[in-house]
A and B are shown apart, each in its own frame.
Chain A
Amino acid sequence: MAAVIKTVNLTKRYGTLVALSNLNLEINEGDCFGFIGPNGAGKTTTIKILATLLQPTWGEARVCDYVVGYQSRSIRPLIGYVPDYFGAYEDMVVQEYLEFFAAAYNINGSQRNKIVSDVLELTDLGYKRDALVDGLSRGMKQRLSIARVLVHDPKVLLLDEPAGNLDPRARIEMRELLKELRRMGKTIVISSHILPELADLCNTVGIIEQGELLYSGPVADIVKRARAGTVIVVGVVRAPEQAAALLAQHPDVDAVAPNNGFLQVSLKNGVQDFSFIASQLIAGGFQVNLIREEEVNLETAFMRLTKGMVQ
């Protein structure tokens, strides 16, 4: 698949502060790429560069094979940018707001009316057509932001924390809307702090810290990478200390630690088979009520891969 977004050694400095350092990124067509990182890691800077709002200090960023800075005019009709705030105009109603941006993309006449109606329907904002933008709730405003970037049917959506500060219902609705857009074939770059939702929505992620990309690739791979070794959660009916001591003697066990009434058994590197745990405990007279492999999710992976350093 062709890379829709590609950055090569992308660097951005603000004076002496290095916001981005040699960022190399490839996002394919139809991907939903989740951008994860602590505050101040460089996510917004990257998205702003891709949205042609900032010039890189060094390196190159390409969107649909057009180079940011040199061919920005060709990039703009292909992207839809949603910042981490809602840019509201005073005294505009929802329909005017969308028509305003449609006109900015040179969509006029009856075509504009049809597109605005379609987008309002898609984002379920049709009944708010006459409402003043200023008076909308935060969730509605975010949905209107998404509607705004859909009026010109862009190939790439750049969304900077679109679910920030939304209530649970609005977040779920936003996630469903983005899933729908993904099904429509849009390439989506989304930054967010809500990792379980990113894991649900995105097929690829990038973890960035202090302007450096720590990881970029499929979600499943990051989980695998974050897992240092296999960890088994074991539950016994009584005497967990003796059970822990028994398991610790096994040559394939690296460490055993109690955790909330269960035992966390870390196996040595390369050991995949954990069937011996059950047989050894039963042979030792223990009653086993749980044996399962510990899950490593995106949050765990994020915590393991980043140090929590901010600039």
Chain B
Amino acid sequence: MLGIADYLWRLIPGNPILLRVVENAGKKRRDMVIRCAYLGLLVTVVLFTLWTSGENFGDLAALARESTDLFQKMSRLQLGLVALLSPIFTAGAITQERDSQTYDILLATPLTNGQIVLGSLLSRVFFVVALLVSGIPIFAVTQIFGGVAISSIVYSFLIAASTAMVTGAMAMAIATFKIGTRRTIFSFYLFIIVYLVGGFLLDRVDFFHLKYIDASGVPVHTSTSWMTALNPFLALRVIFKDQGYMPPNLADLPEGYQSWPMNWFWTSPATFYFGFMFFLSFAMMAPSILLLRRLAQTTTSLRSWVLQKVGLSKGDRTRKPRAVWHNPIAWREAKTKASAARATFLRYGFIVLGMTGAVVLLVMHSNEQTPKQFINHSYDPSKNTLYIEGTGLPEIPVAPSVEVKIGDDPGTIDDLNGRYQVKNYTLDANQAIATIDLDEFPRRLPSADARSWLLGLTIVEFSVILLIMANAAASAVTREKEDGTLDLLLSTPITSRYYIWGKLRGLVAFVLPLVAVPVASVFIFIVHDVFRWLAARDASFDWIVFPEALITMPAMLIIVCAFAAILGMQMSLRCRTTVRAVMSSVGIIVGACAAMGWCGFAVLNTSGSISSELGVAIGSFSPFTLLTILIDPYEYAGSAFQHSAGTNYDPSGARIVAFVVCLVALAVYALGIWSMYKAMVKNFDMTIRKQSR
């Protein structure tokens, strides 16, 4: 009995690995700064909310409303910070085995697998949990005003804590199964971002919501989705009791969803989220605990084994040499980074997924659905009759003064000899067609939806490319500093100009195949539209993507990638460690894109104060706004592209403005790259010398 108690005591409270971290907690200056910044942010939110509140605090109901608003803001901020900080504090576990010699020493001690795994995990999660605990007094402010249930606060903390826990468990599992390298840390961050953002976006797609007929026979479309119980931000939204985002009642759910665990999943997504995440953490840790020492004894990592099985790696540590370019620095950046088995897998994965997505969109868009009633070149001018399929009627006479409408535009009697969906028609006293509303055949994916999906696809692809570029550029110099190869290069005749230019050229060449994916996606739509346009010969033809995108889009994407590369290299040159350089450059690039995108969209949607063409002109400077103008201007690019009913509109003016300004923007980006490049060349020796010890 004492043995079990002693084991349990040594497993967590008396775990020497955890104790070392807990005892030293708070002594590090960096940790203190982060803790102060975290609490400072929470306090700022409280003060700002109270200051900007228009509520009358003499009214208890108003106080409660204010308190609810405050709680929601703080919870979102808390979860956002935990989601941001957890990977930072736990990702280090991935390369722990390689970087630290202490791992082998720990394995050689009498510590059990459980003590080592739980000690390592909890010591990494400890800081985030300590942050959460330190925020409790600030959350307690809401209890003074009322309006927020204590259970909501507890749930909010549990959602944040389980998010931190599952992040840490994932990092530990990667470390134990030896599938991690330094580069895995970046993939780990990327996975978490994609999971959080992806879940949030998928929640907006109708497909992921439950549709059923409730007990009273009313069709129900749930506001929560399959993503709600799996995404912390969506689960958090549920505990806010937002009327627009309420989980369904148990009694209303279809029969198949009334048993455990589906009933829990749908009716209480918040508790399911943290319950499931704690379980998932345990499930990921269990194999690590069981197999830790056995896996440590193996000479082949799981990653190598998988790569060998899928034929991406032979495992024999040899291969045919490739030709080295005239500029070896550029060659190294472009070729050796991309040739590693994992990088090959990711690149091909990206290309295959991106192109598959585009082709699926195109197929869905080009696939017409047969409407209930339609005409198919069935107008007989000699008899002046029209056969409408789907009505079950024979040929119907057409009144000479028939009013034809195609979509929102007026048509002529000759249009009846086309191929259109018949939305409606009326007969006059002679039983002849007096008015007829026609429209294009409906598509499985209508043009507007095709544009939205294509825009979303290209924006996601370009965001991933930018993140990959930021990571590659930020590690370009620091990795050479860390492994000592920079000194070897600096003792050769390679000049700083040659070195930086080679890096820049190589990095751009490295992402070119990736940039080709969104460009090719757009290209296939343009080719498809060209054939449609040739068939239609219509000046006001609605392009899914404007053809000039084939010039402006690749040019803009490449120049922005080059800009991200030079920015990342700047950080890489200044920072001593790769992790710091990557974090800084990713932060700057994400911040810059967010700011530019926000400004661009704000300008595009501004009406009245500036002309719509000027909005398009300013918007064309931002890559994401330019993508929007090129792909889905009707939805997002303001009145310059708005199609008013009954008007013969022509957006060519706005298109010319966007094209010309895009060229100017390219020149501005190129100038920025050039000036940063010159500055880097000038300061290279000085910066490197300062860092040499």
Contact = CB atoms under 8 A, between A and B. Distances in A.
A132 B318 contact: yes
- Chain A, interface residues (CB within 8 Å), range: 35 or more
Interface in B313-336: 317-329, 331-332, 336
A201 interface: no
Contacts of B483: 87-89
Nearest to A84: B484
Interface stretch (A97-105, A224-232, A248-256, A264-272): A97-105
Contacts of B484: 83, 85-87
Interface in B675-693: 689, 692-693
Listed residue (B324, B325, B328) with the most chain A CB atoms within 10 angstroms of its CB: B324
B491 A53 contact: yes
B610 interface: no
A95 B318 contact: no
B500 to A, nearest CB: 14
A134 B483 CA distance: 12
A81 interface: yes
A141 to B, nearest CB: 12
A89 B318 contact: no
B492 A76 contact: yes
Listed residue (B325, B485, B493) with the most chain A CB atoms within 10 angstroms of its CB: B493
A131 B494 contact: no
B184 to A, nearest CB: 13
B319 A93 contact: yes
Given A81-B488, A93-B319, A100-B331, A108 B336 contact: no
A91 interface: yes
Listed residue (A86, A95, A104) with the most chain B CB atoms within 10 angstroms of its CB: A104
A87 B328 contact: no
Nearest to A134: B317
A214 interface: no
Given A14-B693, A104-B328, A91 B336 contact: yes
Contacts of B325: 103
A99 B324 contact: yes
Contacts of A48: 487
The secondary structure that dominates the B interface is: loop
A96 interface: yes
B150 interface: no
Contacts of A95: 321
Contacts of A88: 483, 485
Given A53-B487, A53-B692, A103 B326 contact: yes
Nearest to A51: B491
Contacts of A148: 488
A77 B492 CA distance: 6
Listed residue (B319, B327, B328, B490) with the most chain A CB atoms within 10 angstroms of its CB: B328
B540 interface: no
A89 B326 CA distance: 18
Contacts of A99: 321, 323-324, 328
- Chain B, interface residues (CB within 8 Å), range: 20 to 34
A90 B340 contact: yes
Nearest to A50: B491
A91 B485 CA distance: 14
A213 B318 CA distance: 46
Interface in B141-161: none
Contacts of A101: 328, 488, 492
Given A54-B692, A104-B328, A129 B321 contact: yes
B426 interface: no
B370 interface: no
A28 interface: no
B328 A103 contact: yes
B491 A52 contact: yes
B317 A135 contact: yes
A200 interface: no
Contacts of A83: 484, 487-488
Given A87-B488, A88-B483, A91-B336, A103 B324 contact: yes
A87 B487 contact: yes
B495 interface: yes
Contacts of A106: 493
A130 interface: yes
Contacts of B331: 100, 103
B317 A132 contact: yes
Nearest to A104: B492
A106 B324 CA distance: 12
Nearest to B493: A76
A73 interface: yes
B489 interface: yes
Contacts of B327: 103
B339 interface: yes
Contacts of B491: 51-53, 76, 79, 81
A77 B689 contact: no
B493 A104 contact: yes
B336 A92 contact: yes
A87 B485 contact: yes
Interface in B281-337: 317-329, 331-332, 336
A55 interface: yes
Interface in A157-197: none
27 contacts: A51-B487, A54-B689, A55-B689, A76-B491, A77-B493, A81-B487, A83-B487, A83-B488, A87-B488, A88-B483, A89-B332, A89-B485, A90-B336, A90-B340, A91-B336, A92-B336, A99-B328, A101-B488, A101-B492, A103-B328, A103-B331, A104-B328, A104-B329, A104-B492, A105-B492, A131-B317, A135-B317
Given A81-B487, A103-B327, 8 more contacts: A51-B491, A54-B689, A85-B484, A87-B486, A88-B485, A101-B328, A129-B321, A130-B321
Closest 10 CB pairs of A and B: A135-B317, A87-B485, A103-B328, A95-B321, A99-B324, A81-B491, A104-B492, A87-B484, A130-B318, A87-B488
